[in-house]
Amino acid sequence: MTASLQEVADRLHQAEQSGVAIDPIRPDLPEGDIEAAYEVQNINTRRALAAGRRLTGRKIGLTAVSVQKQLGVDQPDFGMLFADMAVADGAEVPWSSVMQPKVEAEVALVLERDLTGENLTSVDVLNATAYALPAIEIVCSRIRDWDIRITDTVADNASAGLYVLGQRPVKLDALDLRLAGMVMERGGEPVTFGVGAACLGHPLNAALWLARTMVRMGQPLQAGDVVLTGALGPMVPVNAGEHFEVQIQGLGSVRTVFGKN
User: Residue ranges of the domains in the chain?
Assistant: 55-258
Distances in Å between the Cα of 37 and the Cα atoms of 16, 109, 224 are 17, 26, 27
Rounded distance between C-alpha atoms, residue 10 and residue 25, angstroms: 11
- As a whole number of Å, the CA-based R_g of the chain is 17
Bridge partners (DSSP) listed for residue 86: 163
Closest alpha carbon to 156 in 131, 169, 173, 139: 139
pLDDT of residue 70: 65
Q: Where are the alpha helices (DSSP H) in the chain?
A: 5-18, 34-50, 65-71, 122-128, 150-155, 203-216
Q: What angle do CA 224, 254, 259 make, to 5 degrees?
A: 105
- For domain 55-258, give the fold: Fumarylacetoacetate hydrolase; domain 2 (3.90.850)
* Helix (H/G/I), strand (E/B), else coil: 50: helix
Residue 181 CB partners (closer than 8 Å, separation 6+): 193, 194, 195, 248, 249
Rounded distance between C-alpha atoms, residue 61 and residue 56, angstroms: 17
pLDDT of residue 64: 81
Q: What angle do CA 92, 94, 98 make, to 5 degrees?
A: 120
pLDDT per residue of the chain (261 residues) written in tens, 0 to 9: 456 999 999 999 999 999 999 999 999 998 889 999 999 999 999 999 999 999 999 999 999 876 777 667 778 999 999 999 999 999 999 999 999 999 999 999 999 999 998 899 999 999 999 999 999 999 999 999 999 999 999 999 999 999 999 999 999 999 999 999 999 999 999 999 999 999 999 999 999 999 999 999 999 999 999 999 999 999 999 999 999 999 999 999 999 999 998
* Helix (H/G/I), strand (E/B), else coil: 221: strand
pLDDT of residue 67: 73
Helix-strand-coil split of the chain, %, nearest 5: 35, 30, 35
Rounded distance between C-alpha atoms, residue 49 and residue 51, angstroms: 5
Tell me which DSSP letter residue 112 carries: S
Per residue, the 3-state secondary structure of 169-194, as one string, reads CECHHHCCHHHCEEEEEECCEEEEEE
As a whole number of angstroms, the longest Cα–Cα distance in the chain is: 52
pLDDT of residue 197: 96
